A and B are shown apart, each in its own frame.
Chain A
Amino acid sequence: MGYVVCGGCAMQVQTANWNAGGAIPCPVCARGVEVVVFPAAMRPVAGAAPEAIVTGEEASCYNHAANRAVAACDGCGRFLCTLCDIPVSNLRVCPSCFEAGKGGVLDQVRLTERTNFDTIALALVTLPIPLCWLIIFTTPAALYFAIKHWNDPSPLFPRGKWRQWLTVAIAILQVILIVSLVVFIVRMQGGNR
C-alpha cells in the first residue's frame, strides 16, 4: 500500500510518517496530515484460485464440479467454490442469488442510491412561493411526485409521510388561491364590460 497522499496537494505521504500518533506537516504544502494505517493494509492480496477435488468424498461446487466447495450459499444452500463465493455483508451468496437479490438484507446491501421524492415534492411546492407565477407549474408537479411516490418503500432509513401530507396541504391552498385569483380577474373583466 503506497498510495496514501496529502489531502491538500496529493503528495504521497512517506511510510515513515504513518501511525505517527498525530499530524505531520506535508513537505510540499505544509498542511498537517495524520495517517492512521490498519493491519488490512499489510495483508497480502488473496487470490481466488479454486482448489481441485482430490478425493471423491469432498464436496464439489454446484457450478464447477471439479472445484472443491468452501462454503454454502446463504440464499439457496448450494455449495460454492472460491470463484462463486460472494461475501455480502455478513452473508455468503452464489452469483445467481446475488443477481436475484434474494432476501431483504441483500436488497439493502445492493442499494447504493435513493431519490427522496417526498423532499422534491415539498421543495417544489414551497421554494417557488416568492415567485408567485411559478406555482402554476410547480404545484401540479409537486402533487404528482407526492401522490405517485406515496407508498414508496424506504429500505434503509424509515421516513415518515409528513412531507407528503404537508405538500398536499400546501398544494391545495395554492390551488384554491389560483382558482380564486382567476375567478376574481374574470369577474373584474365582466364588471368592466
Chain B
Amino acid sequence: MNRRLLLPRESGLFRYAELWLDGAEILYVNSSRFSERYSRFQISDIQALVVTEFSLWNPLRSASLGLSFFFTLLLLILAPGAWAWWAVVPGIWLVFALLDVARGPRCRLVLHTAVSTVTIEAVRTMKQANQAVPALRALITSVQGELSRDGMTITAPIRSAGDVPVVKNTPLLQRVLFGMVVAHAGILAVLFFAKQMENGLGLSFTLLAAEIVMGIIAFNRRREVGIWVAALSMVIAILATVDAGVLGFSMTKSWIEFFRAVDRGGVRPENIEWLWLREQTVARAIWHAVVGLSGWVAWLINKEPDAQ
C-alpha cells in the first residue's frame, strides 16, 4: 500500500476529512464517523484550486460569544453572590468561542477537474489553507508543470511527486491543553493563598470538563504529536475525570449537609461548608502543575519533528 497522508486530518465530533496521496491520485476521504465517502482525483486531471477566505466572526462564533455574555449578565443580575458557582455556564460558551477563534478565519477550498467540482473539507481554516495550498500546488505542478499567469506558457515539471513534503499538523490543541492545565494550577494557587478557595469550585468544574474533552481529542491525534505528548494528554483526561468525580461527590455531600442544617434552622446560604476544600485544592493544584509542566517538556522535546 503506497499511500501517505497529504494533510493532517481535519476532524470534529461527528465528522472528519483527510487527503491522501495514493500513487498518481489524490484520495479524498470525507467521513461522518459512521460512514466514509471516497473520491479519487488523478493529479494530472486537476484543473484548479480555489480558496475563498471568510471573515473571522462567523455566526457560530458570534453566537457562542453572545451566549457567554448573555449568561454572564444573567448571572450578575440574578445571582451576584453565586457567580463563582454558575461561572460554568458562560465559561463553556466562552471556552468554545475562544478555541474556535484561535483557529483563525475559516475558508473554503474547492478542487476542480473537467468533470467534477468538490469542496475539500480537510481544509477549513486559512491557517490550514496557507499550508495545504502550496503543498498541493507543488504536488500538482510536479506532475503537470506550471502555468504562467497569462495561461499561455507551461513550465515543465522540475521534481517528482514523491519529493513533495507532507504538511504536519500544528499541535495547537496540545499547547492550549497544557497551557490551560498550568493556568488552572496557577489559579488554584492564587485562590489558596488568598483564602478564596470556595470561589474556584465552579471554575474548576468547567476547566475539568474541558480538560476531559480536550485530553481525549488530543490523545486521538497521537500519530501527529508523539507518544509522550499523547500519553500525557490521556493522563490529563483520566485524572480530570477522577478529579471531577471527587469534586462532584464532595459538592453533593456538602449541599446535602447544608440542607440538613437549614432544616434544623439557623444556617444562612453563605454559611455553607465545603467538605475537603483545602485538601482538594492542594491536590488539584499539584497534579495540574506536575502534569501540565510535564506536557510542556514533552512537547518541547517533540517540537523539532513537528516544525519540519
Contact = CB atoms under 8 A, between A and B. Distances in A.
Interface of A: 1, 3-8, 13, 15, 18-21, 23, 26, 31-42, 45, 87, 89-90, 109, 111-116, 119-120, 123, 156-157
A91 B145 CA distance: 23
A160 to B, nearest CB: 14
B149 A111 contact: no
A113 B110 contact: no
A89 B149 CA distance: 30
Q: Please classify the interface of chain B as helix (H, G, I), strand (E, B), loop, or mixed, using the class held by over half of its residues.
A: strand
Contacts of B39: 112
A164 B44 CA distance: 40
21 contacts: A1-B112, A5-B50, A6-B52, A7-B50, A19-B151, A20-B149, A32-B52, A36-B137, A38-B46, A38-B47, A38-B140, A41-B147, A42-B151, A42-B154, A90-B23, A113-B36, A113-B38, A114-B36, A115-B34, A116-B33, A157-B36
Contacts of A1: 47-48, 112
Contacts of B154: 39, 42
B38 A13 contact: no
Contacts of B140: 38
Contacts of B51: 7, 23, 33-34
B50 A31 contact: no
Interface in B24-49: 24-25, 27, 29, 31, 33-40, 42, 44-49
A116 B52 contact: no
Contacts of A41: 47-48, 112, 147, 151
A8 to B, nearest CB: 5
A5 to B, nearest CB: 8
Given A38-B47, A42-B151, A89-B24, A113 B37 contact: yes
B36 A7 contact: no
Contacts of B34: 115-116, 119-120, 123
Nearest to A156: B38
Contact of B151 (A6, A15, A33, A45): A15
Sorting the interface of chain B by its residue count into under 10, 10 to 19, 20 to 34 or 35 or more gives 35 or more
B303 interface: no
Contacts of B146: 39
Interface string B103-145: 0000110101110010100000000000001000100110011
B35 A113 contact: yes
Nearest to A87: B42
The residue among A15, A18, A41, A42 with the most chain B CB atoms within 10 A of its own CB is: A41
Contact of B145 (A35, A37, A39, A113): A39
B33 A119 contact: yes
Given A7-B110, A37-B47, 9 more contacts: A31-B52, A31-B55, A34-B133, A40-B114, A113-B38, A114-B38, A115-B34, A116-B35, A123-B34
Contact of A4 (B31, B37, B38, B50): B50
B52 A7 contact: yes
B308 interface: no
Contact of B114 (A23, A45, A156): A45
A40 B144 CA distance: 7
A151 to B, nearest CB: 19
Given A31-B53, A113-B37, A116-B33, A4 B48 contact: yes
Contact of B149 (A18, A115, A120): A18
A115 B44 contact: no
B24 A33 contact: no
B259 interface: no
